[in-house]
Structure 1
Amino acid sequence: MIQVSYPGVYVQEKSSGVRTITGVATSIAAFIDGFPRGLLDEAVQCLSYADFEREFGGISTDSPASYGVKQFFQNGGGECWVVRVSDSAAAATVTVSDTAGGGGTDLFNVTAGRQMRGLSAQNPGTWGNGVRLDIDYDSFDPSAQFNLTVSEVATSNGRTQVLRSESFRNLTMQAGAPNFALDVVNAGSAIVQLDRNGIATALPTVAPFPRPAATGTLGTTVAAIPASPLLLSVDAGGGARAFSVAYTGSPDLPTLRPLIEAALRSASALATTDAERALIAGATVKLVGSVGTGFRLQFLAGRGATSYLPAATLTMGGTSAAALGLPGATNAQQIALAGGTDGTMPVNAPELTGTLAAKTGIYALEDVDLVNLLCMPRVADLPATNMNAVYSEATTYIASRRGFLLIDIPEQTASLDAMQTWMSQNDSLRSRDAAVYFPRTFVPDPVNGNRLRSIASSGTVAGLYGRTDATRGVWKAPAGTEAKLENVQSLAYLLTDLQNGALNPLGVNCLRTFPVYSHICWGARTLDGADQLASEWKYIPIRRLALYIEESLFRGTKWVVFEPNDEPLWAQIRLNVGVFMRGLFNQGAFQGSTPAEAYFVKCDKETTTQADRNAGIVNIEVGFAPLKPAEFVVLTIQQIAGDLQV
């Protein structure tokens, strides 16, 4: 209530009581499998296939889910979370000391990995053995600061290339400083993490690594520069390549620096190998030093060149090199990580399911706010007992998250009889929150010359769900002539109409091939959709629409908690929930021509008794009339006898 104290006009704002309920996303997928790289037992968000390639290495022949993720995005999916599970994988590491060749005082440990939700996480795999650290002193204060460049390299077709690189400048080893190396690198690097676990030595107060000594205290005066031409030579491991730098007059060092760099570009043409040529052509010359200690030119090899030779060094020589203060070797220390192993792909149920207490396996999704679709293609390749155990636990877990499980079938289940047998052997998997599709699909394998490969259909179907939700709504069955399976070249089994009719009553969704329409999804039943069960959750769109409404109202009514439990609150609840349901009705999500026929929202003294109010409970009843798919279209044709008028 406004407080008045003086004669005049007072203005106050009053809430309208409208709290908009926003619908949640409906097709966020999750993939659980082994991958060649990536954080272990950590859910990582991928908004495109490019994100998946960066985080998990892309397609791998040993990873069924890697093909599923690619199919998900190609078929219309927009967001997924990926969890990597593995057995005995190890991350590449190295301990950095204050001596270039090792054996000095240990400073910090470097491990392949990155931060996830504010904590350092390891990224195991042999990929980490290609990580290189470059340390140099072209910093603001060379006596106490250094620069660190982290590069990931890989060899392909005989060429070593830099895949990605990160630079951290003006670092210090002084704990608590804003530019403390461990804090800066850990917060900003996507390749490595630093720590001092097991290192008892105190942190140094100066730049900890060996620096090349300057050959003099040369100033920038005109008299200090030798006369033209300046005779120099460079050696990148293939022998000395002589070159000269021509200039007029007597330039100072800043003027001479770009002339030497330009001459180096020309000298690179004399190199005999691509690696040598790239090191020379990519080399830089920098002016370093201070007024007190004098200036000199610093020569750095081309570490960022396309052809990357980690073990190569580059030396500078010539009749005038010493006079310029050029060091005899590159002013950098390079260190390689080692010991990374991929481990083995998951083959047992515990590796895939994990444990809730440790948040491993499927339970790594506990750190994810919302997941709608769960895909585990590798489970189909497990022995029957393990497969059933994993899918049973996955169904229970995803149902608790108001999500939906897409179950895959083994590769050998490739005929009508085999699928009927599989269903009879796995009746225990029937659930209103799961669906299965037959047959498997064949897609081009990009790592095997684009030859066709049989893959599980869950990733493709999950992408189809996302595309249908975006274009038509979650209440539209993800099936029909519009439900084309993108990037699918063929199906493992071509079903006839009669064969389709044998599987449909069992709750099996069929993938079909029709002329013109190509490969499409031709079924929309949950595993609770067998005719004998007569379940009200027979159809996928009805079940997913209910889950969507439940999750949206669950999140959109949290404001109700701790509000006074009486008619004013109930009226607000009816208003806000009713607006949300009316929005769905206007989009065509329900049956009926009027809102009264399509849905109801009830919250009053009939739903919430005095006993409920005494217990702090408010009951809200929401009902809706779902649209059922037109699964069977019956055409009745009658022949007319003709004009019977006399």
Structure 2
Amino acid sequence: MPEYLAPGVYVEEVSFRSKSIEGVPTSTTGYAGITRYGPVQYANGPGSTAPRLITSFTEFERVYGGLEPLRLGADQRVNYLAHAARAFFANGGKRLYVSRVFVDTDADPALARSGKLVAGVATWRARWPGEYGNALVDTRVVRSKNLAFKWPDDPNDILDKHLWGVQVRRATHGSVVELFTPMPATLPKENDPLVEGRLYVVVVDENGKQEFIDHNGNKVALPDTINDMQVLLVELRVLVYGPNGRLDNYENMSAGRTQHRYVGRVLHRDDPEDENAIVYLDYTADDAVPFGPARLMLDLRGTVQKRLSGGNDGTLPGPSVFEGKEADPDNVEVKATGLEALGEIDDIAIVAMPDAGALPDLELIIDASGRLIAHAEKYRYRIAVVDGPAQSSISEIREYRGKFDTKYGALYHPWIEILDPLVPVAPGVPPAKLLLPPSGFVTGIYARSDIERGVHKAPANEIVRGLTNFEININKARQDVLNPEGVNCLRFFEGRGSRVWGARTMSSDPEWKYVNVRRLFIYLEHSLDKATQWAVFEPNSERLWANIRRMVEDFLEVMWRDGALIGEKPDQAYFVRCDRGTMTQNDLDNGRMICLVGVAPSRPAEFVIFRVGQWTGDAKV
């Protein structure tokens, strides 16, 4: 308690109410898989494994590349994760984390990063592996408007002249200038070649004195009159031409390390100003060389070959690569990969691996799906959306379903057919079609249902957007077989469109039969976990117990009012007990506070039954 040591008035803040619980997000989704480009941690090269948060498909294309097929070794493969991201946002998804996996084909760490373009003392490199990184880099020269000079009071102090004029603010220490003395009849145009003998680097000492350094490292004596010379500030414009018409334009770039717009800082390997930059500048020249900025500018401007080369999409990863590895606690440079990288993001509530169902062998598909389910079970507060193999018959999908028993996963069948967005429609030619796993569509529907109704609403009887057809037609007779076994079917209904027509987990435990019940408890448990961290090391007494009870009861009452719990009254919907009845003296002696929470979840009306019979006019009901 506070100490009162001297007479006076003491004003103190106290709380007379219980703390509140804020519900955790339930629609945030995580994918692990192969993409054309983007952040990745891989075996033979530097990188960053932090999955990037994506909020639109346009953003996905900029960070992870587009929908174009992947060239994995000698094979061309559909870019399933990109199509899944497109379907996710089309079906109502809002927040998506992507963990890219990559298997390099080059054993040399120095060449592991895709794409390189050598330019004398500097090298342009692609930031991430992938054929997408084979961009065209055009480094152009930009000459400023004419710079005038401000002459000092003492005309004999030649080196104390200072640059002055329109561009004076950018002509600071490390700037490159082009000096003409005497004045030429015609000045060079914007991107004309540079001449080493006309380039100088501005150097400003600690006293503010400004000097020009030539290519031999000597100080330059300037002419006595302003009419005898002309000075142009020289900067760079870097144009990066990526695939699909992408153009990244970087203006007002300088070559001096002390400059605000230094090209090596703006296009840095690990921390560029544009975090989605395709390339970075690999430059390790000696800072002590005064003419270094001009030398770098000459090399970048004089590069003949402008397109990066050597980038490839690697080879097809196996299930263990998709699963990934945990970060090394003893080495901060070794970060988590694959699904394990998604495990480090607490907000993710839905996970999927769109590439898993398209692996070339059934055993690989089963292995990959098992690792996805194990990931959801390990991190508890998330559910896995599992794809079955493509072109599975009713017997094959039943056999596949029988390989798993989990309350943290849900299986959806069949695959979904769409019009190939990469192939333009031509008159008289049948449109090209593409077969995709359902996980991208279903995870988007999960998110849409959560946003519009709440996590307690079963993500079923919801329209599937962006498709032309299902791979096979699931009728009632077939669903009568698949539904009791926990296979959620996607069906077309005449006049009602294409819908998700199932909401069951892959569990044999009837208590956890339904997806919405499992996800409701995930939401409840995760919210309690995050909101009650303040209680750790508080005095374990009746005051704490009462505070916990009130806090949880307030949260559950809101859930009951939202329709997540059944019961006409709150007493019928939930109970919260935290007192001597839930804890023994041994619990108290060992620092354990035990709160017992019981809720009555609302289960979906999976079977709507009307019983109709005849009755007579004088019958009593």
TM over 0.5: yes
Three-state SS of the structure 2 residue aligned to 1:336 is coil
The one-letter amino acid of 1:365's match is L
2:294 to 209, 212, 220: 209
Using the TM superposition, give the Cα deviation of residue 384 of structure 1 relative to its aligned residue in structure 2, in angstroms: 1.7
2:591 to 616, 620, 633: 616
C-alpha distance in 2 between matches for 1:129 and 1:77: 31
C-alpha distance in 2 between matches for 1:442 and 1:162: 28
CA contact (8 A) 1:135 1:332 kept: no
Three-state SS of the structure 2 residue aligned to 1:209 is helix
Three-state SS of the structure 1 residue aligned to 2:613 is coil
2:577 to 602, 610, 616: 602
C-alpha distance in 2 between matches for 1:52 and 1:595: 44
Q: Confirm or deny that 1:539 pairs with 2:520.
A: no
User: In structure 2, do the counterparts of structure 1 residues 162 and 448 end up closer, same or farther at CA, with 3 Å as the change threshold?
Assistant: closer
Could you list the structure 1 runs, at least 4 aligned residues long, displaced by more than 6 angstroms after superposition.
330-335
Using the TM superposition, give the Cα deviation of residue 546 of structure 1 relative to its aligned residue in structure 2, in angstroms: 0.4
Q: Confirm or deny that 1:457 pairs with 2:438.
A: yes
C-alpha distance in 1 between matches for 2:247 and 2:131: 16
Aligned to 1:74: 90
C-alpha distance in 2 between matches for 1:95 and 1:63: 31
1:193 to 263, 273, 280: 280
Q: Confirm or deny that 1:364 pairs with 2:341.
A: yes
Aligned to 2:490: 511
User: In structure 2, do the counterparts of structure 1 residues 178 and 614 end up closer, same or farther at CA, with 3 Å as the change threshold?
Assistant: farther
User: In structure 2, do the counterparts of structure 1 residues 184 and 590 end up closer, same or farther at CA, with 3 Å as the change threshold?
Assistant: same
Aligned to 1:589: 564
The one-letter amino acid of 1:208's match is P
Using the TM superposition, give the Cα deviation of residue 200 of structure 1 relative to its aligned residue in structure 2, in angstroms: 7.0
2:370 to 384, 392, 396: 392
Using the TM superposition, give the Cα deviation of residue 502 of structure 1 relative to its aligned residue in structure 2, in angstroms: 0.9
C-alpha distance in 1 between matches for 2:53 and 2:99: 9
C-alpha distance in 1 between matches for 2:515 and 2:243: 47
User: In structure 2, do the counterparts of structure 1 residues 600 and 135 end up closer, same or farther at CA, with 3 Å as the change threshold?
Assistant: farther
- 1:146-295 equivalences in 2 (<5 Å): 147-154=235-242, 163-167=247-251, 169-174=253-258, 182-186=264-268, 187-189=272-274, 190-191=276-277, 192-196=279-283, 199=284, 201-206=286-291, 208-209=293-294
Three-state SS of the structure 2 residue aligned to 1:526 is coil
Q: Confirm or deny that 1:111 pairs with 2:125.
A: yes
The one-letter amino acid of 1:91's match is S
Q: Which string of whole-angstrom CA distances, capped at 9 and with x for unpartnered residues, describes residues 70-102 of structure 1?
A: 111000110101122122264223344xxxxx3
C-alpha distance in 1 between matches for 2:273 and 2:297: 29
User: In structure 2, do the counterparts of structure 1 residues 137 and 619 end up closer, same or farther at CA, with 3 Å as the change threshold?
Assistant: farther
Aligned to 1:520: 499
C-alpha distance in 1 between matches for 2:382 and 2:572: 28
Aligned to 1:94: 117
The one-letter amino acid of 1:163's match is L
1:338 to 305, 308, 315: 308
CA contact (8 A) 1:134 1:334 kept: no
C-alpha distance in 2 between matches for 1:2 and 1:505: 67
Using the TM superposition, give the Cα deviation of residue 429 of structure 1 relative to its aligned residue in structure 2, in angstroms: 1.9
User: In structure 2, do the counterparts of structure 1 residues 496 and 151 end up closer, same or farther at CA, with 3 Å as the change threshold?
Assistant: same
Using the TM superposition, give the Cα deviation of residue 521 of structure 1 relative to its aligned residue in structure 2, in angstroms: 0.8
C-alpha distance in 2 between matches for 1:572 and 1:49: 44
C-alpha distance in 2 between matches for 1:587 and 1:372: 20
Aligned to 2:131: 125
Three-state SS of the structure 2 residue aligned to 1:469 is helix
C-alpha distance in 1 between matches for 2:490 and 2:396: 16
Determine what percentage of the aligned residue pairs are the same residue.
28
- Segment of structure 1 superposing worse, 609-618 or 581-590: 609-618
| Structure 1 residue ranges without an equivalent (≥5) | 97-101, 114-121, 214-329
Q: Normalising by structure 2, what TM-score?
A: 0.73
Using the TM superposition, give the Cα deviation of residue 333 of structure 1 relative to its aligned residue in structure 2, in angstroms: 7.0
Q: Which string of whole-angstrom CA distances, capped at 9 and with x for unpartnered residues, describes residues 42-94 of structure 1?
A: 31110111111111112133211111111110001101011221222642233
Aligned to 2:13: 13
CA contact (8 A) 1:147 1:171 kept: yes
User: In structure 2, do the counterparts of structure 1 residues 366 and 16 end up closer, same or farther at CA, with 3 Å as the change threshold?
Assistant: same
CA contact (8 A) 2:512 2:518 kept: yes
User: In structure 2, do the counterparts of structure 1 residues 334 and 644 end up closer, same or farther at CA, with 3 Å as the change threshold?
Assistant: same
Q: Normalising by structure 1, what TM-score?
A: 0.71
1:501 to 480, 493, 509: 480
User: In structure 2, do the counterparts of structure 1 residues 211 and 545 end up closer, same or farther at CA, with 3 Å as the change threshold?
Assistant: closer
Three-state SS of the structure 2 residue aligned to 1:111 is strand
C-alpha distance in 2 between matches for 1:632 and 1:129: 56
- 1:486-497 equivalences in 2 (<5 Å): 486-497=465-476
Q: Which string of whole-angstrom CA distances, capped at 9 and with x for unpartnered residues, describes residues 308-333 of structure 1?
A: xxxxxxxxxxxxxxxxxxxxxx9887
The one-letter amino acid of 1:26's match is T
C-alpha distance in 1 between matches for 2:57 and 2:37: 15
Aligned to 2:211: none
Three-state SS of the structure 1 residue aligned to 2:293 is coil
Using the TM superposition, give the Cα deviation of residue 210 of structure 1 relative to its aligned residue in structure 2, in angstroms: 5.2
Three-state SS of the structure 2 residue aligned to 1:25 is coil
Three-state SS of the structure 2 residue aligned to 1:344 is coil
Aligned to 2:56: 48
Q: Which string of whole-angstrom CA distances, capped at 9 and with x for unpartnered residues, describes residues 285-339 of structure 1?
A: xxxxxxxxxxxxxxxxxxxxxxxxxxxxxxxxxxxxxxxxxxxxx9887873523
2:527 to 552, 572, 585: 552
The one-letter amino acid of 1:346's match is L
User: In structure 2, do the counterparts of structure 1 residues 613 and 644 end up closer, same or farther at CA, with 3 Å as the change threshold?
Assistant: closer
Q: Which string of whole-angstrom CA distances, capped at 9 and with x for unpartnered residues, describes residues 86-120 of structure 1?
A: 22264223344xxxxx3xxx2x444322xxxxxxx
Three-state SS of the structure 2 residue aligned to 1:208 is helix
Three-state SS of the structure 2 residue aligned to 1:431 is coil
The one-letter amino acid of 2:491's match is R
Aligned to 1:299: none
Q: Which string of whole-angstrom CA distances, capped at 9 and with x for unpartnered residues, describes residues 596-615 of structure 1?
A: 11112222223233322222
Q: How many residues align?
A: 493
The one-letter amino acid of 2:496's match is Y
Q: Which string of whole-angstrom CA distances, capped at 9 and with x for unpartnered residues, describes residues 272-296 of structure 1?
A: xxxxxxxxxxxxxxxxxxxxxxxxx
C-alpha distance in 2 between matches for 1:643 and 1:471: 47
Q: Which string of whole-angstrom CA distances, capped at 9 and with x for unpartnered residues, describes residues 201-220 of structure 1?
A: 4543345235999xxxxxxx
The one-letter amino acid of 2:326's match is L
CA contact (8 A) 2:36 2:131 kept: yes
Three-state SS of the structure 2 residue aligned to 1:72 is helix
| Structure 2 residue ranges without an equivalent (≥5) | 42-48, 70-77, 106-112, 145-169, 177-199, 203-233, 328-334, 425-430
C-alpha distance in 2 between matches for 1:334 and 1:3: 79
Using the TM superposition, give the Cα deviation of residue 151 of structure 1 relative to its aligned residue in structure 2, in angstroms: 2.5
Using the TM superposition, give the Cα deviation of residue 589 of structure 1 relative to its aligned residue in structure 2, in angstroms: 0.7
Three-state SS of the structure 2 residue aligned to 1:50 is helix
Q: Which string of whole-angstrom CA distances, capped at 9 and with x for unpartnered residues, describes residues 116-165 of structure 1?
A: xxxxxx35434333233345564524344764433321477xxxx56222
